[in-house]
Structure 1
């Protein structure tokens, strides 16, 4: 199976498969050659052009996720991170919209929507800046906004009367199975925690993953949905609904990064279901974009490899 990945036309996939699945050294001749191909590839150059013109921290944050997923590690990432930090509010969050207010002063608009912080924070973390003190302020904001059960709300909006007035129950289509929070917001928050070298094994991360694992329905049509967005074949869009689709591959990725192990019955059920969908030659077929089957296979193999080396159970929440 790895041979098929190493023979893929994408230098990004060849590089990641060699380094992350085969353990190739950074000074390997092929690895260095593929890094050069990645930097010059049309996909990366297009993303860099969009990153240079991105004004919203949320747009820039996800572009950083895409570039990192393709294996790009150039200096533009650090520049973009600094630009995102320039819009951070004193409490560690990011504003709902950019306006003419002086930098560093809170907006007079809605108090927050969780997604407006988790998308730029995930980008900052995936670019390698999760432990920057300013990023840590963002993580602390996330922890303060958790609900009593360890899930995250979508966030109160301006038409609800402002700060101090409790938000209504989350809409049914994005409500957690056994939690009070929003599935989309909780997915985004866990995605940020999963990329932090210490917080990824925290109670907050494990409880958050536990809430996501409690949904036992498997949507085969959304398998690899996040991969398709990261490589640019699907648009990354939505405010409250940025993570509205339940992607079993993305859920396994988050679980594997946050200390989940296959002796957790929910993880075992997820892995069993995924293995039952593995096709000929060890590959998983992407339900919408057949050309992404090798990317999806790499993503799932990486998650399974991380999980095999972990013995910590997921907190059931």
Structure 2
């Protein structure tokens, strides 16, 4: 049952179980060891989850710290996604919890008539954030909500001709001042130039929504985008935003930006197997870069300026996500 562990030089399970984190231990036992455990609702009352919930506003959102410089930007949508990621991905919370339900409804209140989630880039289309947030909403129990279907319909319409995604405004030749204005003021959204190539960064974030959905993960659109995504492993992006190939090796959990780990997670859920040459290449990278402790670092490029405690915590959760991928592909 746990033969997938034989691929590693060092044991990753013991440090996850002995980290002193009840949520981390729960998911390790459930997802990696296949143990039968008490209902996940027990995690919902943990102090860290309660701390996040205490800061929620009556409308279901979380306030963004600092100044809100641009009225056209929905800062609370950004912060709500940021905090909801922790509640859903670290504590397994769903819309069955009344505060998560309020957060879900706040996010859906930001859905445009077309189906996208609008406001993070002012009134411009944000394909990548729409996909990533839809993925989170599905995990929170919204899979059968018709507003999820509406979001998928919009994402399908917004594909490039090659079957992947990018950020529509990046497909135009705009100077920095124009991009700044478009993403900070209320302006009509720019339609994409669909003849331009896909971006692996933004395709990866959109693909999370398809990977999370039990039906859409088996769609032709998901398979096509998945092939495009894995074809770009370890390469620079087609666009200047987050272009460096180093971004493939900067990890975090809960997931935010696209990287090798988030991509393998999505691709494994869509149905790609370890027999695929590019999937093998990605898995081999993790095998070769496991630390003596049994864990993986959160970044293998630029060092982050955060406390040692945060570095260790991130590494633990990243390591859980790595192990999930290997188990799914075993």
Report the TM-score, using the length of structure 1 for normalisation: 0.73
1:284 to 296, 302, 314: 296
Secondary structure at the aligned position of 2:168 is classed as: coil
Aligned counterparts of 1:220 and 1:283: Cα–Cα separation in 2: 20
Asked if 1:68 is matched to 2:88, the reply is yes
Asked if 1:115 is matched to 2:123, the reply is no
Secondary structure at the aligned position of 1:15 is classed as: helix
Aligned counterparts of 1:116 and 1:284: Cα–Cα separation in 2: 26
Tell me by how many angstroms 1:154 deviates: 0.1
Tell me by how many angstroms 1:279 deviates: 2.6
Tell me by how many angstroms 1:209 deviates: 2.1
**Is the 2:251–2:318 contact (alpha carbons within 8 Å) kept by the matching residues of 1?**
no
Aligned counterparts of 1:163 and 1:297: Cα–Cα separation in 2: 39
Aligned counterparts of 2:312 and 2:247: Cα–Cα separation in 1: 13
Q: Which runs of 5+ in 1 are unaligned?
A: 99-108, 171-179, 237-242, 309-317
**Is the 1:115–1:154 contact (alpha carbons within 8 Å) kept by the matching residues of 2?**
yes
Tell me by how many angstroms 1:226 deviates: 2.6
Tell me by how many angstroms 1:111 deviates: 5.2
Asked if 1:302 is matched to 2:324, the reply is yes
**Is the 2:128–2:166 contact (alpha carbons within 8 Å) kept by the matching residues of 1?**
no
**Count of matched residue positions in the alignment of Structure 1 and Structure 2:** 269
1:213-265 superposed Cα distances (whole Å, 9 cap, x missing partner): 112327678645232xx29xxxx6xxxxxx3xx52222221211111111111
Corresponding residue for residue 150 of structure 1: 163
Q: Which runs of 5+ in 2 are unaligned?
A: 1-10, 64-75, 170-178, 236-244, 304-310
The more displaced of 159-168 and 280-289 is 159-168
The more displaced of 110-119 and 271-280 is 110-119
1:248 to 243, 246, 260: 260
Corresponding residue for residue 201 of structure 1: 218
**Is the 1:154–1:184 contact (alpha carbons within 8 Å) kept by the matching residues of 2?**
no
Corresponding residue for residue 62 of structure 2: 54
**Is the 1:261–1:307 contact (alpha carbons within 8 Å) kept by the matching residues of 2?**
yes
**Is the 1:277–1:284 contact (alpha carbons within 8 Å) kept by the matching residues of 2?**
yes
Corresponding residue for residue 102 of structure 1: none
Tell me by how many angstroms 1:151 deviates: 0.6
Asked if 1:135 is matched to 2:187, the reply is no
Aligned counterparts of 1:117 and 1:212: Cα–Cα separation in 2: 18
Asked if 1:126 is matched to 2:139, the reply is yes
Aligned counterparts of 2:24 and 2:252: Cα–Cα separation in 1: 16
Tell me by how many angstroms 1:119 deviates: 3.9
**Is the 1:61–1:124 contact (alpha carbons within 8 Å) kept by the matching residues of 2?**
no
Corresponding residue for residue 91 of structure 1: 114
Classify 1:290/1:91 alpha carbon distance in 2 versus 1 (closer, same or farther; 3 Å). same
Aligned counterparts of 2:200 and 2:115: Cα–Cα separation in 1: 22
Secondary structure at the aligned position of 1:300 is classed as: helix
Q: What is the alpha-carbon root mean square deviation over aligned residues?
A: 3.1
2:46 to 40, 56, 80: 40
Asked if 1:225 is matched to 2:231, the reply is no
Classify 1:294/1:113 alpha carbon distance in 2 versus 1 (closer, same or farther; 3 Å). closer
